[in-house]
Amino acid sequence: MVWIPGFGKYSPRLGNRVGDPAPDFTLVDQDGGEVTLSAELGHKPVVLVFYPMAGSPVCTRQMCSLREGWPELMSKAKVFGLSYDSVEALRRFKENEHLPFPLLSDPDKAVAKLYGVDGTFAAARVTFVIGIGGQIQAVIENVKAGDHAKQVLDAL
């Protein structure tokens, strides 16, 4: 994958690697509701899908892959998409693409920084799988947009 300056690039460090406790956070979803990671843990693994920009062609392909794999994904995990986009942009993206999972707004890049995927203009395209106990179980760095649901299912 080609890295573009200004876009995030995964920087593994203590706190965002496989085996580390996942950094907790609270963000607002596309409807303005708060989502706190620690409150989502316990019953199923949590999948955090960082992506650069709602509505861009590659991001749309990636999110639609997750939508197509949703019946199996939802039985195995809770999925959240995260980007720097505004709540309104996320709401439109979710509606336009009929995405069945919440999209979280990280406009201050705070959560992207915690997970080491922040960039000046956009977060890196990286997915984290967090186990029910709160440990990072997998980091998917080489995301294949059109086949991302399979990548996530394989990691679960």
Residue 152: the pLDDT is 98
For the cut 60, the answer to whether the pLDDT of residue 27 exceeds it is yes
Range 26-155 classified under CATH 3.90.1200.10: no
What are 35's two structure tokens?
């989502």
For the cut 90, the answer to whether the pLDDT of residue 128 exceeds it is yes
- Which neighbouring-strand residues pair with 140? 127
According to DSSP, the β-strands at 78-83 and 46-50 are: parallel
Structure confidence by residue, pLDDT tens digits, 94-110? 999 999 999 999 999 99
What are 101's two structure tokens?
């999972």
Which residue bears the tokens 């794999």? 69
Catalytic residue among 47, 48, 59, 139: 59
Contact by Cβ (8 Å): 82, 104:
yes
Average pLDDT of span 8-16 = 88
Task: List the chain domain ranges.
Answer: 26-155
Is 64 among the residues known to form the active site?
no
* The three-state (H, E, C) secondary structure of 102-148, written as one string: CEEECCCCHHHHHCCCCCCCECCCEEEEECCCCEEEEEECCCCHHHH
